[in-house]
């Protein structure tokens, strides 16, 4: 499946089907992140159940600490 993630077309492996799996795939699952699919913000409590479909436009924002 192909999705546009943060403006870049990316081929996702077959096992990545939900927002939670997507974050785990990119090693962001342990960070604070905001996910938007097709211009709709996905509540964190829905990450496990929100499906990703071919052609979805996904924005992922995660916070990086530093000083």
Question: For residues 41 and 37, what is the distance between their CA atoms, to the nearest angstrom?
Answer: 6
What pLDDT score does 66 carry?
66
> Residues 7-58: pLDDT tens digits?
999 999 999 999 999 999 999 877 788 999 999 999 999 999 999 999 999 9
Q: Which domains does the chain have, with CATH numbers?
A: 2-61 (3.10.20.30)
- Residue burial 23-43, b: 16+ Cβ < 10 Å; e: rest: beebeeeeeebebebeeeebe
């Amino acid at each position: 499946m192909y999705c546009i993630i943060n403006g870049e077309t990316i081929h996702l492996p077959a096992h990545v089907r939900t927002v939670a799996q997507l974050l785990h795939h990119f090693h962001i699952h342990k960070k604070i992140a905001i996910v938007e699919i097709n211009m709709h913000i996905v509540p964190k409590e829905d990450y496990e159940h929100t499906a990703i479909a071919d052609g979805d436009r996904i924005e992922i924002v995660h916070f990086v600490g530093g000083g």
